[in-house]
Amino acid sequence: MPYLVAAVVLIGAICLLDLVLTIGVIRRLKAQDQTLRSHEARLDSLAMGEPPPMERLAPGAAVGEFTATTTDGETLTRDSLGDLVAFVSPECGACRTLVSELAALPPGRTGGRERVLAVVVAAEPGEASEYVTKLTPVARVVVEDYDGAVGKAFQNTWMPSLYLLAGDHTVAASGGSLGDVPLEAAPSR
């Protein structure tokens, strides 16, 4: 009889451990669900021979209206944007390089911190802390989810993405690296 009780307790403990681990996996998958659906849609369109969907606003396109709050508590709108907007995510390998390059740019090259907006896209705000720390000295920083207001205004679904803006709230240049965006051509507003 004592062996039976011990076996039941052991099996119960194993089931409880399994339940805790399963809940952890489900929570992680739920956080990445948006990214997975986006990748599946891209793969499906490529498999059917269709061009991939627009991943970022093209030059000449207008930036949509939005309201967001920076990590410093400043309220931003389309009218308060500077010349350079960068979208990065902690889940993106190429973003790590871009964040380091942005953090190393001299202020004279970008027009100063007020002219640069860095949007850190993260499923959980805590995941963004490293990028916020690196980017805050050189940019105003907004942390938002994958369907955040700034991302929607730029129709941005791809990381990393950079936008050089013209004075009329349109995109002058866009790309995925600093080499794609001629900072020397930044308009003075």
Task: Please state which of the ranges 58-62, 118-122, 184-188 shows the lowest mean pLDDT.
Answer: 184-188
111 within domain boundaries: yes
Q: Is 171 helix (H, G, I), strand (E, B) or coil?
A: strand
Tally of domains within the chain = 2
pTM: 0.69
Residues 181 and 140 both lie in one domain: yes
Residues 96 and 144 both lie in one domain: yes
Residues 79 and 119 both lie in one domain: yes
Mean pLDDT of the chain: 84
61 within domain boundaries: no
pLDDT at 33: 67
* Distance (Å, whole) CA 19 – CA 11: 12
Residues 147 and 81 both lie in one domain: yes
Instruction: Give how far Cα 37 sits from Cα of 12, 43, 179, 181, Å.
Output: 36, 10, 29, 29
Residues 41 and 75 both lie in one domain: no
Model confidence pLDDT, tens digit, residues 81-115: 989 999 999 988 889 999 999 999 887 777 788 99
Residues 81 and 163 both lie in one domain: yes
Residues 94 and 174 both lie in one domain: yes
Give bridge partners of residue 164 from the DSSP assignment.
Answer: 84, 173
φ/ψ of 139, rounded to 5, equals -155, 155
125 within domain boundaries: yes
53 within domain boundaries: no
Residues 34 and 74 both lie in one domain: no
- Give the residue numbers spanning the domain of 126: 67-185
* Distance (Å, whole) CA 119 – CA 165: 15
pLDDT at 51: 46
- Residue with the bigger pLDDT between 124 and 66: it is 66
Residues 106 and 149 both lie in one domain: yes
62 within domain boundaries: no
